[in-house]
Amino acid sequence: MIRIALADAVLTGDLAIPDEPTGIVVFAHGSGSSRHSPRNRAVAEGLNAAGIGTLLLDLLTEHEDQLDSLTATLRFDIELLTMRLIGTIDRLSEGLESAPRTAGLPLGLFGASTGAAAALAAAAARPGVAAVVSRGGRPDLAGPSLARVRAPVLLIVGGRDTEVLELNEQARRRLDGRAELHVISGATHLFEEPGALEEVTMQAAEWFNRHLRQAALR
């Protein structure tokens, strides 16, 4: 476990960096979730096995997460989550005191549910972000930031998650050729069906490795 001190908060995360990493991916979790999400931890382990570092990050502080009256509101405060994600990106790029190896590594973002909106808005604000993957995300909540995203984006959606699928199709068009939509047949929003989460992991690992390697050559 590591702690990242930002201007307005101290965030908690779990950092894993394999030998000779392709880069590092920061996970932005969705509403009602945290760095302990079993689905995101499973994806992170798959990325680690593929040679990619990961930071599973709580964008709310421990205190904020315990305030029932505020937590629901804060989890949907895309602007707040985005600013904290941007702060984390900047700290990683500089190299953390507890993890100096992060300095200079190509960086990607993985967002789930509402966390995908924060990931896309952060990528719009930080053009150095090499790639973004959204799992069952709400990219529409990124609003006007979508038009400013320059990183390649992979939108992964379950075929039976019909409402979210439509929102992702709309977002793909707004991303103007910088995004691909991958639909997992038969999967619902949480990708609980046999093999669904494994396909998410495989697609994410291929996307990140391709684009993180390209970023390292620039």
The beta strand positions in 58-188, using DSSP E, are 107-112, 131-135, 153-158, 179-184
pLDDT per residue over 10-25, tens digit each? 999 999 999 999 999 9
Q: Which amino acid is at 40?
A: N
Contact call for residues 183 and 158 (beta carbons, < 8 A): yes
CA atoms within 13 A on the CB side of 64: 19
For 155, the token pair is 């939108």
For residues 77-90, give the mean pLDDT. 92
CA–CA gap between residue 177 and residue 141 (Å, rounded): 19
pLDDT per residue over 31-71, tens digit each? 656 787 889 999 999 999 999 999 998 888 877 766 655 54
Long-range contacts (CB closer than 8 Å, 24 or more residues apart) made by 124-127: 124/148, 124/149, 124/150, 125/82, 125/86, 126/86, 126/89, 126/90, 127/151
Q: Which amino acid is at 24?
A: I
Banded pLDDT at 176 (limits 50, 70, 90): confident
CA–CA gap between residue 99 and residue 184 (Å, rounded): 36
For 147, the token pair is 């038009």
Banded pLDDT at 98 (limits 50, 70, 90): low
